[in-house]
Amino acid sequence: MINLIKSLFKRDVSYAYLIFILALYFTAVINIPVYSELNSILSNIDGVKVGFVISIPIFFLSALNFLFNLFAWPYITKPFFVLLLIVSSAVSYAGYNYGTLFDYNMIANIVETDTSEASSYLSAYSILWTFIMGVVPALLLANVNLSGKQGKVKMVLLKLFSMLASVIVIGLIASMYYQDYASVGRNNSVIKKAIIPTQFIYSAVGFVKDKYFTTPLEYKQIGLDAKQSDKTLLDAVEKPTLLVFVVGETARSQNYELNGYPKPTNQYTRDLDIISFQDVSSCGTATAVSVPCMFSSLTKSNFNRKIADNQDNLLDVLNRADVSLLWKENDGGDKNVADRITKKETDRSQVNSYCDGSTCYDMALLEGLEQDIDSLSGNRMIALHLIGSHGPTYFKRYPEEAKFFMPDCPRSDIENCSVKEIVNTYDNTILYTDYVISQTISKLKKLQENYNTALIYISDHGESLGENGMFLHGMPYSLAPDYQTKVPLMFWMSDGFKQTKQINTSCVKSHASSNQYSQDNIFHSVLGLMDVETNVYEKQLDIFSTCRS
């Protein structure tokens, strides 16, 4: 490889030759995440043919050589492949170290990530990886002398010859090992999604097309008949309902003490008569999907982000029914769900006990909460969007004095920490979220004389912490482990709320321990708790409907 690179600077090179070198580099270096995944897959298959294994990089080389030639033209080659090398190196880093797959939803999540959140993924290791694997080859490419003497006809003929050779090689491999490729491919669709750069380019093109070159859908209003019941409006005159809806971030159910985890991650709420639902599934594995989905009337089976963004959601229906609303944000964005109600965002540029100039601890959301409540009227709901357990900088989600599980991993390049340290750091974020919830409940208890108070907490999605070599989240749902799709759901009620809403606590606890739920239930359960009558409400999806008198 080194000799091949050196030879590029000794003479003018043809487009076909340069593309072959680039295809070889992508095959041998950039795609190491694919080989890592293949190694895991093939090691568990008995009787793997040696020829099949040897053919895999040859197949990749031939396929990439064919595809890259389609983009190798005067004035295009260098800028296109310089950018591709740099981006692909970053994708390779994420794929190799975290098992990240860059499908359509991951591209959407990246685009909607704010600067503060994006910076949490930067580390000396990730920068060094991208520099060596992407920037250095890109600089070499920029200085290559592409031949301008061969003429257009010869250039095209050489490209066609190279592409034809690739097709022949692919055909020969298919004739000998088609069954092996088909078997491994069908049973391990993750491989196709891991190949660089084909998958992320395909996903990015699809996202850009939908986002910027597709005619926007006409906005659809739903629940036009929404109104609060006469009884709840009458009750509000004397004592309004106050529901705090807490949207968690990256918290997985498996690390909750209340759900059977052996470590004390719920030591702040375990004695607060809080109900923890044991089996709850998310709608997606990334915030860009799960948050819009949980607030939408659409279910996971028919969820479409484009439709959700152009249709009323839970907050719009509540607002139409004259429930007073406020969204408080500490996670970089509400993913369009709170576009039509009042929003307040923590000022992460501040430097104080809760903020460091780039991010804030979630306790910042409770500052001025009483004043926020007073600013609303009638029956009301406040949504708190936590930064929760957002990684990989888990250590930035809790203050120094909140460290409980040690040793932790106080760095963003978590791949250089042990799994035990990573899990301890993550568990500290769960414990800190538990503290924030307990403090929120404490404030609600103090308001019980004036309001019928309740709190719902649910995370958007879960997280992988090294299981099967996988970290973080965002895997395609069909391939994602339960660690990324099982989320905590917790519910607390004051005595006044129980009495006014006529909720049988024992019934709810029984359902929480034995029934399966998902984020599909949120839309209808909140409408039910707030006694909003509308034709879009479905009683069978209301978690609490069978437990109310």
- Give the β-pairing of 532-533 and 227-228: antiparallel
Give the pLDDT score at 1.
Answer: 53
pLDDT band at 172 (very low <50, low <70, confident <90, very high): very high
Give the pLDDT score at 399.
Answer: 96
Q: Who has greater pLDDT, 506 or 72?
A: 506
Nearest to 413 by CA among 394, 400, 430, 390: 394
Q: What is the distance, to the nearest Å, from the Cα of residue 58 to the centroid of all Cα atoms in its chain? A: 34
Q: Who has greater pLDDT, 259 or 195?
A: 259
CA separation for the pair 46, 59 (Å, rounded): 22
Q: Who has greater pLDDT, 383 or 393?
A: 383
Quick one: what percent of the chain has pLDDT higher than 70? 96
User: If residue 445 lies in a helix (H) or strand (E), which one and from where to where?
Assistant: helix 419-446
Q: Who has greater pLDDT, 80 or 112?
A: 80
Q: Who has greater pLDDT, 295 or 38?
A: 295
CB neighbour burial string for 278-300, b if at least 16 within 10 angstroms, e if fewer: bbbbbbbbbbbbbbbbbbbbbbb
Give the pLDDT score at 365.
Answer: 97
What rounded mean pLDDT belongs to the chain?
92
pLDDT band at 42 (very low <50, low <70, confident <90, very high): confident
Phi, psi at 228, each rounded to 5°: -80, 150
What is the DSSP secondary-structure string of 29-67?
IITHHHHHHHHHHHTTSTT--HHHHHHHHHHHHHHHHHH
Cα three-residue angle 480-484-485, rounded to 5 degrees: 85
Domain coordinates in residue numbering, the chain: 2-212, 227-547
This prediction's pTM: 0.82
Nearest to 430 by CA among 392, 397, 471: 397
Half-sphere exposure of 495 (CA within 13 A, CB side): 3
What is the CATH number assigned to the segment(s) 227-547?
3.40.720.10
Residue 436 identity: V
Mean pLDDT over 450-458 rounds to 98
Quick one: what percent of the chain has pLDDT higher than 90? 71
CA separation for the pair 472, 462 (Å, rounded): 8
CA separation for the pair 453, 462 (Å, rounded): 28
Mean pLDDT over 330-335 rounds to 92
Mean pLDDT over 23-49 rounds to 87
- Bridge partners for 457 per DSSP: 246, 490
Give the pLDDT score at 5.
Answer: 55
Cis amide leading into 410 (omega within 30): no
Residue 477 identity: Y
User: If residue 453 lies in a helix (H) or strand (E), which one and from where to where?
Assistant: strand 452-459
Nearest to 20 by CA among 197, 195, 162: 162
Q: In the 8-state DSSP scheme, what is residue 281?
A: E
